[in-house]
């Protein structure tokens, strides 16, 4: 009997000990965490890690080769399979529009999240928009037949429309100058540089920016002298016929703001379901863009291989300017649908032609000689008072108005970060978390 009682005491002690230490028996097992399974973000493709010879491989226009070739390695990442379209960018614009309307004009409590019963009030007093409610009951900005409930909202929203002499034919037209997005991002590079400086605070490395989000539709006229592009001004961003065409007239700062919003938009969804976050969205670095454009091919001139811009049937492979005064032989006088032409071997569309694209990298003619050979890039956070030369950002891919040279994988050029053009758009990347998919056997 004594042996039985002893055995019972030992078992009881083991059970109690297990309860007190989560069953780890005093061993180091790590904190409990939910398992994480990699997912390919919607509308993106997976780009495996790899090394490649970055830089010009063949043809060159006299005096335009400004980068040495260099073997570099790029870690795995996800990239938008197409350029960001008018429709997707308009989702960002409409989100900003609705945020301003709800918080600054309507002030209607049904559009805000109600605190849980018995929950303590917010210390900051800040209210949060209930976007689920907004999706089910979208705001009405224009009077429609039978919309009785929208009349009251329209009266409150009058301040969002053009006023006085700016108003045409007494129509309610949104004043797009009011659509500004406030956001913050961390300057991790500066934080690393000054990490031993005891005079610096965390707030010194948080950048705050306020960016007008509506594209500059007048670029279709300001970019070209004596060209009748008024129809593009009037319809390119607003008309549904162009919904799947690449957004243009967007500055580098606007593209970065879009990425900050896209990150927060996905984070909010993940938090609502207690899921792990993705890494933030960003513009691709110059190396990521060239690596993605090459599609895993070695030493080729164009995303489809090359060395020719026509296929065996004589069809042009991208949207560009085939000859003097000739813009339409490739199928489009201006831009074309973001899914036009065949994708490259990674599944990426229009990595050459259609619109040139912003990258996150700062432009320097000699960057290839000093950037690292692992995940290379040159980053510089230009300040408002900096010289224009410090505000240059690398632009890649060539556009609908460029000749074939600019479509080459390695051709690099630049534009100023606060400049919008009718031939520059962008796409986003987010980095792959964990071990490279191709290494999982």
Domain boundaries, the chain: 53-84+214-434, 86-117+126-178
| Strand 77-80, strand 429-431: pairing | antiparallel
| Residue 277 DSSP code | P
List the beta bridge partners of residue 431.
Answer: 77
Q: Check if the beta carbon of residue 420 is closer than 8 Å to that of residue 427.
A: no
pLDDT digits (tens, 9 = 90+) for 3-57: 555 444 444 554 444 444 557 889 998 888 777 777 899 999 999 999 999 987 6
Ranges under pLDDT 50 in the chain: 6-11, 14-20, 62-63, 146, 441
Dihedral in degrees, nearest 10, Cα atoms 113, 117, 121, 127: 10
- d(CA 221, CA 137) in angstroms, rounded, equals 38
**Six token digits for residue 242:** 């162009």
**Six token digits for residue 366:** 């000699």
Three-state SS for 160? helix
Instruction: Give me the percent of the chain exceeding a pLDDT of 70.
Output: 87
Burial of 134 (0-12, 13-18, 19+ CB in 10 A): middle
Does the reported pTM lie above 0.75? yes
- d(CA 358, CA 426) in angstroms, rounded, equals 5
pLDDT digits (tens, 9 = 90+) for 283-331: 999 999 999 999 999 989 999 997 889 988 889 999 999 999 999 999 9
- d(CA 209, CA 200) in angstroms, rounded, equals 20
Q: Which CATH number fits domain 53-84+214-434: 3.90.1580.10, 1.20.1730.10, 3.40.50.300, 3.40.50.2000?
A: 3.90.1580.10
Instruction: Give me the percent of the chain exceeding a pLDDT of 90.
Output: 70
Other C-beta atoms lying within 10 Å of the C-beta of residue 284: 28
Q: Check if the beta carbon of residue 42 is closer than 8 Å to that of residue 341.
A: no
């Amino acid at each position: 009997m004594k042996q039985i009682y002893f055995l019972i005491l030992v078992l009881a002690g083991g059970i109690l000990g297990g309860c007190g230490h989560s069953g780890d028996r005093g061993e180091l097992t790590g904190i409990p965490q939910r398992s994480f399974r990699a997912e390919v973000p919607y509308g993106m493709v997976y780009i495996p890690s790899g090394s490649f010879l970055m830089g010009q491989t063949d043809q060159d226009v006299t005096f335009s080769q400004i980068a040495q070739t260099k073997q570099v390695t790029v870690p795995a990442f996800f990239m938008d399979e197409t350029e960001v379209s008018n429709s997707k960018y308009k989702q960002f614009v409409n989100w900003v529009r609705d945020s301003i309307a709800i918080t600054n004009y309507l002030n209607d409590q049904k559009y805000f999240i109600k605190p849980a019963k018995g929950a303590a009030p917010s210390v900051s007093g800040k209210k949060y928009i209930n976007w689920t409610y907004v999706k089910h009951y979208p705001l009405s900005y224009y009077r429609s037949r039978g919309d009785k409930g929208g009349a009251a909202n329209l009266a409150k929203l009058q301040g969002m429309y053009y006023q006085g002499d700016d108003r045409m034919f007494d129509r309610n037209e949104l004043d797009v100058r009011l659509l500004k997005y406030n956001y913050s991002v961390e300057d991790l590079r500066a934080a690393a540089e000054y990490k031993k400086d005891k005079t610096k605070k965390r707030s010194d490395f948080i950048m705050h920016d306020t960016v007008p989000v509506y594209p500059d539709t007048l670029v279709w006229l300001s970019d070209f002298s004596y060209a009748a592009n008024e129809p593009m001004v009037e319809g390119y961003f607003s008309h549904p016929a162009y919904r799947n065409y690449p957004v243009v007239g967007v500055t580098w700062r606007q593209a970065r703001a879009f990425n900050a919003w896209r990150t927060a938009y996905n984070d909010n969804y993940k938090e609502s379901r207690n899921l792990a976050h993705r890494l933030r969205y960003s513009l691709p670095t110059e190396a990521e863009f060239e690596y993605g454009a090459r599609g895993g091919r070695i030493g080729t001139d164009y995303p489809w291989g090359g060395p020719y811009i026509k296929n065996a049937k004589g069809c042009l492979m991208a949207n560009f300017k085939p000859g003097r005064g000739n813009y339409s032989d490739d199928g489009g006088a201006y831009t074309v649908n973001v899914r036009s032409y065949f994708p490259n071997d990674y599944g990426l569309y229009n990595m050459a032609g259609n619109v040139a694209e912003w990258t996150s990298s700062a432009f320097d003619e000699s960057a290839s000689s000093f950037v690292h050979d692992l995940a290379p890039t040159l980053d510089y956070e230009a300040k408002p008072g900096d010289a224009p030369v410090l505000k240059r950002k690398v632009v890649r891919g060539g556009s609908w108005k460029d000749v074939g040279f600019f479509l080459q994988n390695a051709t690099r050029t630049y534009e100023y970060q606060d400049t919008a053009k009718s031939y520059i758009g962008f796409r986003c990347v987010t980095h792959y978390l964990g071990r490279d998919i191709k290494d999982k056997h």
